[in-house]
């Protein structure tokens, strides 16, 4: 029987001193205590793991691709005729940036992906803005190119006070008064000679310059808007006669409304060409589209 501290006796036939081989110790003079082991022997481990460099390069490449596409897309989106290309590149940059951001590890790959996403989104917004501008411009061009349509309420004009529907208004001589059914009365005075100043517009030397006074009396029970009461004057041949404007205020315009029981006056000067017959025809309605126009005619010489 042996004690725990005693070495077991070698078996029969075993050479004396042969037992478990000692653990190799450090070389002499190394300064390490015996039994400490050798620091140069690496510990055993399993099989070597895969190298991560290829996957990292792919993840970083998605962010760089998104960044490049975002820059190019933003540049093209600013151009008026290439904005649609910039929009496509912006979508690609946005997609690649999102994928790269999901796959990328913290570092430069994430930064490139985030910048690519931002630039791609900006390129898409600019492209959409250009598209909206072109659509609005096309609609505006179509609206300008369409022929002028008669207003739907134009058919209501015959219902206004004045001559019955289907009959032409009777011509009055200058100085006479036209009375409407609701009590509104319009008078155009006889033409009187007028001398324009030297700065007058609408007058040429040799023409006949005359001036009339137009009076509108509101005998109705409602206010009349006379701001649209603009006379139209033509000569005997039907050619328009020009109005004269000078520093003396020869030609005036009606402004505002005339209340019931009130009246308004305005002068109107015009120039009749020297080769004209000397007879003119003036047409006026006290309120446009609310009253039928009345007609005055007569000589001016």
Tally of CA atoms within 13 A in the half-sphere of 216 that contains its CB: 29
Q: Which helix (H) or strand (E) holds 217?
A: strand 208-218
pLDDT of residue 83 exceeding 90, the answer is no
Whole-angstrom distance, CA of residue 56 vs CA of residue 146: 62
Q: What is the predicted pLDDT for the residue at 220?
A: 94
Burial of 83 (0-12, 13-18, 19+ CB in 10 A): buried
pTM value surpassing 0.85: no
Q: What is the predicted pLDDT for the residue at 238?
A: 87
Q: What is the predicted pLDDT for the residue at 2?
A: 46
The whole-chain average pLDDT of the chain stands at 75
Most confident among 60-74, 171-185, 267-281 (mean pLDDT): 171-185
Q: What is the predicted pLDDT for the residue at 70?
A: 85
Token pair 């151009």: residue: 79
Higher-pLDDT residue of 148 and 291 is 291
Span of 58-62, 137-141, 151-155 with lowest mean pLDDT: 151-155
For the chain, the farthest-separated pair of C-alpha atoms sits apart, in whole angstroms, at 166
* pLDDT tens digit sequence for 150-182: 444 333 444 455 544 444 567 899 999 999 999
Q: From 24, 25, 7, select the one nearest 16 (Cα to Cα).
A: 7
* DSSP-derived secondary structure letter, 224: E
User: CATH 2.60.40.1240 in the chain, residues?
Assistant: 170-299
Q: From 166, 190, 161, 192, select the one nearest 294 (Cα to Cα).
A: 161
User: pLDDT grade, residue 114 (50/70/90)?
Assistant: confident
* pLDDT tens digit sequence for 252-268: 889 999 999 999 999 99
Mean pLDDT score, 137-144: 67
Higher-pLDDT residue of 112 and 281 is 281
* CATH tag for 170-299 (out of 2.60.40.1240, 3.40.1260.10, 3.40.50.1820, 3.20.190.10): 2.60.40.1240
Q: What is the predicted pLDDT for the residue at 25?
A: 52
The structure tokens listed for 213 are 């006074």
Q: What is the predicted pLDDT for the residue at 106?
A: 65
* pLDDT tens digit sequence for 192-218: 988 888 888 888 888 888 899 999 999
């Amino acid at each position: 029987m042996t004690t725990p501290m005693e070495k077991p006796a070698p078996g029969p036939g075993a050479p004396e001193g042969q037992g478990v081989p000692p653990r190799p110790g450090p070389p002499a003079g190394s300064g390490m205590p015996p039994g400490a082991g050798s620091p140069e022997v690496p510990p055993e481990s399993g099989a070597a793991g895969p190298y991560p460099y290829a996957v990292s390069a792919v993840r970083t490449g998605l962010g760089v691709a998104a960044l490049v596409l975002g820059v190019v897309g933003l540049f093209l989106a600013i151009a008026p005729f290439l904005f649609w290309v910039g929009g496509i590149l912006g979508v690609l940059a946005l997609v690649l940036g999102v994928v790269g951001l999901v796959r990328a590890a913290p570092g430069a790959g994430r930064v490139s992906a985030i910048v690519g996403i931002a630039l791609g989104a900006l390129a898409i917004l600019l492209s959409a803005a250009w598209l909206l501008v072109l659509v609005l411009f096309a609609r505006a061009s179509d609206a300008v190119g369409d022929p002028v349509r008669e207003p739907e309420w134009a058919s209501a004009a015959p219902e206004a006070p004045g001559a019955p529907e289907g009959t032409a208004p009777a011509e009055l001589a200058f100085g006479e008064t036209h009375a409407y059914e609701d009590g509104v009365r319009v008078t155009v005075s006889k033409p009187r000679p007028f001398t324009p100043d030297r700065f007058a517009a609408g007058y040429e030397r040799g023409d006949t310059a005359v001036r009339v006074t137009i009076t509108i009396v509101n005998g109705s029970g409602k206010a009349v808007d006379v701001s649209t009461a603009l006379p139209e004057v033509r000569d005997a041949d039907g050619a328009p006669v020009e109005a004269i404007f000078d520093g003396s205020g020869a030609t005036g315009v009606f402004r505002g409304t005339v209340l019931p029981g009130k009246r308004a006056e305005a002068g109107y000067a015009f120039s009749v060409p020297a080769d004209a017959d000397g007879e003119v025809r003036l047409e006026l309605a006290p309120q446009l589209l609310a009253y039928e126009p009345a007609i005055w005619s007569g000589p001016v010489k």
